[in-house]
Amino acid sequence: MDTPVVIGLSAVVVAIRDDDAVVLTVRPRAGMRGLPFGPFDPEGHRTFELALRAFVTEQTRFDLGYVEQLYTFGDKGRDAPIADMGDGPRTARVLSVGYLALTPAAVDTQAPDTEWSAWSRFFPWEDWRAGRPAALGALEPALQSWAAAAHGAEAARRASSIRLLFALDGAAWNEERVLERYELLYEAGLAPEAARDRGEGAPAYATGLGAALGEPMISDHRRILATALSRLRGKLKYRPVAFELMTEAFTLSALQRAVEAIAGVPLHKQNFRRALERAGLVEGLGRLDSETGGRPAELFRFRRELLGARPVLGLALPQLRD
């Protein structure tokens, strides 16, 4: 019997709230979060993107702004029940087209079962803004136990991957490799989704890690989320997408905090501002923001008209170094 295929759409909707990167989540069933998700109807939807915008608005009462397609996800295990056509209960293989959407405000949707969730609750090892995350210290011995369980070339491969991806033994941290880190944790059986998908218990070296493993999500939604974070972190450097997260008027400090929240690393203030000045992407508005709670700061705007006038690069990320 042929397995039917259903096309679905998943949305990673990102905003900044209280200087943290947050993502819109829903709870299709109690106890586990997921991303806004809906089916694609070829009869009723002219394009994937229009379908995505429609179902996200329907589910969350939230209108999307900037949207771009991420990737198509179709791993085994993406099954859904379908109607009984007379030959017994059947399931369909679900292919999901992932989208990344950015919005300048984490507006409360007032829709049931929706919530803005900090990215760090799903990937606690990815936030280096206050230094090396404590989650990495907890994960390191578990990852090393996994590497030691192999032999020969496989043990060497595991050890090398752990060192490079998780910045051990002097290796540099590469903030863009979010998906590779999550997939290595999944391969090692440390991601809670791995035990669920394989139908077996977690390995002994995963015992006691708790919150260091991050919060699991339904299906492969955490993998979709990792893909989105990797894409967005990389894109910060070659496209001015950070401004899609800002209101029309913003301070340079607010812009820096938003970029740091997405990149997960602290930036050098003076070098960040010099890079902004060289790029010519912002323009002062000649007025001050008096709502910062401290010394009033000048307000700026993104020179959006540049997008149609010349090639526009992203933002330099001059990181602070210890």
Q: What is the pLDDT of residues 254-279, one digit of tens each?
A: 999 999 999 999 999 999 999 899 88
Number of neighbouring beta carbons within 10 Å of residue 152: 7
Q: Domains, the chain, ranges and CATH?
A: 5-118 (3.90.79.10), 124-213 (no CATH), 238-308 (1.10.10.10)
Give me the pLDDT at residue 314, please. 85
Which residue from 118, 71, 95 is spatially nearest to 4, judged by alpha carbons?
95
Per-residue pLDDT band for 51 (boundaries 50, 70, 90) equals confident
Give me the pLDDT at residue 55, please. 80
For the entire predicted model, the pTM comes to 0.89
Please tell me which residue, 308 or 228, carries the higher pLDDT value. 228
The answer for residues whose C-beta is within 8 angstroms of residue 168's C-beta and 6 or more apart is 140, 162
CB 154 within 8 A of CB 131: no
Per-residue pLDDT band for 60 (boundaries 50, 70, 90) equals confident
The rounded distance, in Å, linking the Cα atoms of 78 and 37 is 13
pLDDT at position 29 over 70: no
Give me the pLDDT at residue 58, please. 79
The rounded distance, in Å, linking the Cα atoms of 4 and 82 is 9
Quick check: helix, strand or coil at residue 206?
A: helix
Quick check: helix, strand or coil at residue 217?
A: strand
CB 27 within 8 A of CB 61: no
